[in-house]
């Protein structure tokens, strides 16, 4: 799964209830990082702690994947 980190200071507002179109949380933030809200992008794999508890473990940065994909072509 491609994931992104948004710095806490970049978050302006959160609407945890969503709106009339989407009923999931909305995060409103400043696009201060080269036109993006994300400080960094990375790929993660969903893993299980046990007893049904899950977490996401980083497996590669976006730049690593992008670089290796270009060299593979």
What is the tens place of the pLDDT at every residue in 18-57?
999 999 999 999 999 999 999 999 999 999 988 889 999 9
pLDDT of residue 23: 93
pTM: 0.73
Q: Is the pLDDT of residue 72 over 80?
A: no
What residues contact residue 60 under an 8 Å CB cut-off, 6+ apart? 42, 43
Per-residue model confidence (pLDDT) at position 69: 83
Q: What is the DSSP string of 5-68?
A: E--GGGEEEEETT--SS--S-EEEE--TBTTBS-SEEEEEEEEEEETTEEEEEEEEEHHHHHHH
């Amino acid at each position: 799964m491609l994931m992104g980190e948004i710095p806490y200071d970049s978050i302006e507002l959160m609407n945890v209830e969503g709106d009339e179109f989407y009923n999931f949380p909305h995060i409103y933030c400043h696009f201060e990082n080269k036109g993006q809200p994300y400080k960094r992008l990375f790929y993660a794999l969903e893993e299980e702690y046990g007893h049904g508890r899950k977490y996401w473990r980083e497996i590669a940065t976006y730049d690593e994947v992008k670089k290796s994909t270009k060299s593979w072509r």
